[in-house]
């Protein structure tokens, strides 16, 4: 082992000499100075503690020891081996009959290596293929006790979670910032069995009945002939479907709003969408809708930023999530419920609330009618160690429920209960995906499921059936008092078999009207621009005309604006629903904390390094992230060890989309930073400057523009910037060009 270690050390030394230009690389030519091997940028904060990789057991963010300490999947020993554990001395050349001869079939190492590589890919998810995951902890606050007996909600109870955020339409390699719905799926590893809350960042869905899911997805995915466009709804088949199947109009309106282009996963709300039924200790039931409320507030990109990011940084959202967690800025969400009585109304109809059908997943219940009550808080505090093992292989299922949480007859939810088991057979290759580390419950499992592809359990006993006497009757059946999942007795109507829906499902427009009417003027402008852009990408005139006519049934003014943008005649005015508003639906007009926001600090070669350092530390101290933008990489103030500042972005690698605000220390004369400032300005982001902002009239920027402040000293920057960040953007800044 010693000899081998020496060999490795020598080889590493040789490699390092070659790479950094050690002595004697070219005889007679002096060796160049080795560059510093230090990270050019300072780490932004401590990594969260991670325990050793302990075999196949999932990582535990609460530090709880798992009962399973099997070592099966662990990398053991320091030597490279075959899959069978035979040590290898060479892995660069295949065995050949002589140096120039053909390769030998007997080379097991070659065949094993290539065979495994050939099968490394699995089918991507049919929808939600692109995602990013994180581990965390959910802590209940006890407020749900009167409506739900599930232990996960008990006051102070901590439960490990794994969350996967996703886009819906794009393939695994598509961009994060496309206009789309985002998945927000949470696996709660509760003591009473795993509970999955498989939701989205939009509280309604395109369809009311699961049988329409293949239709909407086929329409929304790329055209089947050329497979264009990737990860977009801006094409004919999508608008063909949603303009014909009008129950999609409400969800489509949310997609065209700023909700379709979130600033970050950290600034998204999440929704369970369907109505669920909760059961308390006394066996009483209530109906609820689940909401996730981000502590950082709800913020979005503007469309131009989303488009730029798709090219400049298609990983913007997954990078943002991973970086924040790694820096210790753990994202948090409150989990809340809207509670509705589980009663039958005067017309003998159940699951109705203020005339809203709670079984219709295209409807919301405005928060003003049923406030969201917080029942716990989730903190994401650890990144996955292995993307494939965790984020790719995690398998969610809306039917994974803990005692106290039950489904309703929402026909969309009912169909999902079938789909999520079924799809894993293709995706994960067999029925034992529940044994994968990320999918293993943290509650004890004693099922009688046996054998099958990828079986990793070594089950004991001879009687995997019930009843039995040969295994002593084990495993035993539990009663409600032992925490068993007991079905809730429910009256199912004395009914006939039909393929139909209740009459309340026929209202496809009133809540789209409610949503649009609840938006501020600037949000309405964004919606009109989004419809105009998307329909402008369609080729078929009749599809555009039909969709504009549907918009007229939501809001005639909106329809006229979009028609004008498309060069179509204004549609006829038709009656719309009575206009009511729900202010809670708007993202603008509220103030949010500035925590976790990214602040660009723009410097030049001649900038005062001490002032930059002071600024950087002040940003950190205020729980935000400073990113210093300089002409070249490395450090500012090299040679003054106490006063150096790491450069995070160069003029070449920066782009405005990742900064929430910009601090100009000195104004460079450089075309790339001109673009930076002009985009920051156009996207209504806060700008604070220590230098006079002269010569920027071309981009519309003057020192008295809203959201632009010029300050005299570094200490004045953050007090000026934070109130501007609280509203996310300077919404009152005039639009030089429509964004």
**For ligand HDE, which stretch binds (CB under 6 A), given 87-95, 416-424, 515-523, 700-708?**
416-424
**Residue whose beta carbon is closest to ligand HDE:** 183
Examine the residue annotation and report whether 299 is marked as an active-site residue of this protein.
Answer: no
Which of the residues 135, 141, 200, 381 is marked catalytic? 200
Interface residue with ligand HDE among 59, 213, 239, 651 (CB under 6 A) is 213
- Give least dist CB 188 to ligand HDE, A: 14
Nearest to 398, CA basis, from 483, 276, 486? 276
Counting contacts by CB under 6 A, is residue 128 touching ligand HDE?
yes
| C-beta atoms surrounding 56 within 10 Å | 20
The mark string for 78-117 relative to ligand HDE (x by CB under 6 A, - otherwise) is: ----------------------------------------
Q: What pairs with residue 162 in β-bridges?
A: 135, 187
Interface residue with ligand HDE among 420, 533, 620, 731 (CB under 6 A) is 420
Examine the residue annotation and report whether 317 is marked as an active-site residue of this protein.
Answer: no
- How far apart, in whole angstroms, are the C-alpha atoms of residue 204 and residue 201? 9
Counting contacts by CB under 6 A, is residue 198 touching ligand HDE?
yes
Counting contacts by CB under 6 A, is residue 193 touching ligand HDE?
no
- Are 651 and 627 in contact by the 8 Å Cβ rule? The answer is no
- Give least dist CB 205 to ligand HDE, A: 4
- Are 515 and 581 in contact by the 8 Å Cβ rule? The answer is no
Interface residue with ligand HDE among 147, 273, 372, 718 (CB under 6 A) is 273
Percent helix, percent strand, percent coil in the chain, to nearest 5: 30, 15, 55
Segment holding 680, helix H or strand E:
helix 671-682
Residue 103 structure tokens: 């390769």
Binding-site size for ligand HDE (CB under 6 A) equals: 26
Nearest to 288, CA basis, from 326, 344, 252, 337? 337
164 known ligand binder: yes
Residue 395 structure tokens: 């398998």
Q: Which of residues 349-388 bind ligand HDE (CB under 6 A)?
A: 361
- Give least dist CB 125 to ligand HDE, A: 4
Counting contacts by CB under 6 A, is residue 154 touching ligand HDE?
no
Q: What is the CA radius of gyration of the chain?
A: 29
Nearest to 733, CA basis, from 657, 678, 689? 678
- Give least dist CB 354 to ligand HDE, A: 22
Peptide bond into 428 cis (omega under 30): no
The mark string for 422-461 relative to ligand HDE (x by CB under 6 A, - otherwise) is: -x--------------------------------------
**For ligand HDE, which stretch binds (CB under 6 A), given 127-135, 232-240, 696-704, 707-715?**
127-135
- Are 128 and 183 in contact by the 8 Å Cβ rule? The answer is yes
| C-beta atoms surrounding 193 within 10 Å | 19
Interface residue with ligand HDE among 419, 455, 581, 650 (CB under 6 A) is 419
Rank residues 167 and 524 by Cβ distance to ligand HDE and give the closer one. 167
Counting contacts by CB under 6 A, is residue 166 touching ligand HDE?
yes
- How far apart, in whole angstroms, are the C-alpha atoms of residue 509 and residue 10? 72
Counting contacts by CB under 6 A, is residue 125 touching ligand HDE?
yes
Compute φ and ψ for 541, nearest 5 degrees: -60, -40
Which of the residues 93, 108, 109, 128 is marked catalytic? 128
Counting contacts by CB under 6 A, is residue 396 touching ligand HDE?
yes
- How far apart, in whole angstroms, are the C-alpha atoms of residue 558 and residue 140? 43
Interface residue with ligand HDE among 58, 61, 131, 366 (CB under 6 A) is 131
Q: What are the Cα distances from residue 312, in Å, to 165, 358, 692?
A: 21, 42, 29
509 known ligand binder: no
**For ligand HDE, which stretch binds (CB under 6 A), given 47-55, 314-322, 414-422, 436-444?**
414-422
- Give least dist CB 200 to ligand HDE, A: 4
- How far apart, in whole angstroms, are the C-alpha atoms of residue 293 and residue 299? 12
Residues 6+ apart with CB under 8 A from 581: 514, 517, 518
Strands 661-664 and 686-689, sheet pairing = parallel
Query: Which residue matches tokens 């949480």?
Result: 405
Rank residues 416 and 682 by Cβ distance to ligand HDE and give the closer one. 416
427 known ligand binder: yes
Interface residue with ligand HDE among 144, 210, 335, 378 (CB under 6 A) is 210
**For ligand HDE, which stretch binds (CB under 6 A), given 23-31, 194-202, 537-545, 636-644?**
194-202
Rank residues 418 and 465 by Cβ distance to ligand HDE and give the closer one. 418
Counting contacts by CB under 6 A, is residue 199 touching ligand HDE?
yes
420 known ligand binder: yes
- Give least dist CB 390 to ligand HDE, A: 11
- Are 309 and 316 in contact by the 8 Å Cβ rule? The answer is yes
Residue 308 C-alpha from the chain's centroid: 19
Interface residue with ligand HDE among 400, 416, 442, 684 (CB under 6 A) is 416
Compute φ and ψ for 89, nearest 5 degrees: -105, -10
Segment holding 675, helix H or strand E:
helix 671-682
**Helices and strands (H, E) in the chain, number of each type:** 16, 20
Interface residue with ligand HDE among 412, 560, 585, 647 (CB under 6 A) is 412
Rank residues 168 and 676 by Cβ distance to ligand HDE and give the closer one. 168
Residue 686 structure tokens: 């806060």
Q: What pairs with residue 139 in β-bridges?
A: 158, 377
SS3 state at 326? helix
Residues involved in catalysis: 128, 200
Binding site feature residues:
125, 164, 213, 416, 420, 427
**Binding-site positions for heme:** 125, 164, 213, 416, 420, 427
Residues in contact with ligand HDE by the rule CB under 6 A: 125-128, 131, 164, 166, 183, 185, 198-200, 205, 210, 213, 273, 361, 394-396, 412, 415-416, 419-420, 423
């Amino acid at each position: 082992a010693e000899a081998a270690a020496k060999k490795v050390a020598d080889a590493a030394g040789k490699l390092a000499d070659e790479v950094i230009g050690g002595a004697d690389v070219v005889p007679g030519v002096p060796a160049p100075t080795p560059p510093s091997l230090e990270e050019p940028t300072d780490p932004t904060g401590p990594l969260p503690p991670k325990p050793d990789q302990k075999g196949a057991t999932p990582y535990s963010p609460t530090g709880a020891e798992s009962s399973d300490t099997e070592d099966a999947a662990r990398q053991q020993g320091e030597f490279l081996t075959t899959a069978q554990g035979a040590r290898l001395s060479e892995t660069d050349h295949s065995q050949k009959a002589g140096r120039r001869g053909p390769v030998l079939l007997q080379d097991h190492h070659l065949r094993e290596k290539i065979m495994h590589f050939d099968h490394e890919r699995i089918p991507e998810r049919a929808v939600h293929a692109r995602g990013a995951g994180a581990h965390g902890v959910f802590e209940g606050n006890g407020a749900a006790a009167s409506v739900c007996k599930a232990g996960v909600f008990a006051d102070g109870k901590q439960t490990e979670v794994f969350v996967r955020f996703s886009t819906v339409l794009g393939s695994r390699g598509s961009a994060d910032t496309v206009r789309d719905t985002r998945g927000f799926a949470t696996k709660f590893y509760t003591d009473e069995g795993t509970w999955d809350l498989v939701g989205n960042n939009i509280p309604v869905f395109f369809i009311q009945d699961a049988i329409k899911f293949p239709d909407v997805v086929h329409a929304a995915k790329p055209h089947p002939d050329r497979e264009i466009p990737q990860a977009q709804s801006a094409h004919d088949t999508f608008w063909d479907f949603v303009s014909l199947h009008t129950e999609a109009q409400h969800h489509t309106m949310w997609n065209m709003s700023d909700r379709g282009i979130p600033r970050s996963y950290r600034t998204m709300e999440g929704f369970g969408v369907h109505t669920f039924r909760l059961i308390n200790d006394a066996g009483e039931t209530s109906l609820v809708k689940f909401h996730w409320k981000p502590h950082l507030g709800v913020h979005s990109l503007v469309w131009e930023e989303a488009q730029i990011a798709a090219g400049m940084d298609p990983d913007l959202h997954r990078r943002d999530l991973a970086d924040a967690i790694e820096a210790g800025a753990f994202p948090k969400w409150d989990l809340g419920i809207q509670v509705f009585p589980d009663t039958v109304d005067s017309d003998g109809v159940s699951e109705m609330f203020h005339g809203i059908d709670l079984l219709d997943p295209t409807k919301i219940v405005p928060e003003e009618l049923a406030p969201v009550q917080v029942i716990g808080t989730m903190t994401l505090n650890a990144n996955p160690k292995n993307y494939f093992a965790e984020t790719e292989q995690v398998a969610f299922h809306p039917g994974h429920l803990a005692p106290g949480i039950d489904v309703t007859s929402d026909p969309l939810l009912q169909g999902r209960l079938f789909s999520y088991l079924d799809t894993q057979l293709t995706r994960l290759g067999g029925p034992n995906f529940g044994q994968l580390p990320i999918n293993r419950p943290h509650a004890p499992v004693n099922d009688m499921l046996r054998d099958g592809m990828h079986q990793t359990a070594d089950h004991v006993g001879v009687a995997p059936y019930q009843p039995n006497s040969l295994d002593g009757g084990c495993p035993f059946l539990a009663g409600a008092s032992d925490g068993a999942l007991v079905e809730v007795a429910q009256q199912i109507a004395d009914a006939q078999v039909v393929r139909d829906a209740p009459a309340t499902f026929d209202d496809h427009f009133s809540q789209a009207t409610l949503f649009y009417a609840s938006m501020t003027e600037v949000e309405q402008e964004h919606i009109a621009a989004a419809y105009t852009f998307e329909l402008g990408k369609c080729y078929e005139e009749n599809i555009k005309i039909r969709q504009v006519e549907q918009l007229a049934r939501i809001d005639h003014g909106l329809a006229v604006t979009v028609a004008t943008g498309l060069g179509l005649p204004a549609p006829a005015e038709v009656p719309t629903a009575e206009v009511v508003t729900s202010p809670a639906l708007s993202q603008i007009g509220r103030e949010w904390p500035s925590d976790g926001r990214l602040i660009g600090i723009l410097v030049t070669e001649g900038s005062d390094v001490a002032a930059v350092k002071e600024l950087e530390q002040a940003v950190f101290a205020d729980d935000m992230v400073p990113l210093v933008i300089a002409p070249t990489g490395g450090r500012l103030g090299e040679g003054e060890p106490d006063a150096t500042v790491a450069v995070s972005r160069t003029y070449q690698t920066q782009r405005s989309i990742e900064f929430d605000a910009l601090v100009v220390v000195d104004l460079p004369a450089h075309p790339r930073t001109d673009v930076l400032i002009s985009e920051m300005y156009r996207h209504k982001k806060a700008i604070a400057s220590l230098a006079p902002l002269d010569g920027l009239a071309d981009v519309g920027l003057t020192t008295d523009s809203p959201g632009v402040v010029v300050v005299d000293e570094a200490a004045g920057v953050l007090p000026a910037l934070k109130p501007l960040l609280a509203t996310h953007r300077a919404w009152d800044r005039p639009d030089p060009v429509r964004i």
